[in-house]
Amino acid sequence: MLKLKINGITVEAEKDMTILQAAEKVGIYIPTLCYHPDRSTFGGCRVCMVDADGRIVTACRAPVKDGMI
């Protein structure tokens, strides 16, 4: 399990999770438009953009990293 912080909340996530999945796990809402859990993601709509360690990424595609903020 990896530990990261989302909006100041410590989240434990599995290494194959995305930021969006980790956020949903603890009830943090990140808006999406093109994401569907049963389909592959491509991040084309850019609605789920988040700041991850100072970089703007799509939460539906960006993998979690240990210590990520």
Q: What is the pLDDT along the chain (69 residues), one digit of tens a residue?
A: 999 999 999 999 999 999 999 999 999 999 999 888 888 887 889 999 999 999 999 999 999 999 999
Q: pLDDT at position 26, please?
A: 96
Tokens at 61, concatenated: 């595609």
State the CB neighbour count (10 A cutoff) for residue 54. Answer: 6
Tokens, residue 8: 């100041």
Please name the residue that has the structure tokens 């993998």: 63
65 burial via Cβ count (<10 Å: 0-12, 13-18, 19+): middle
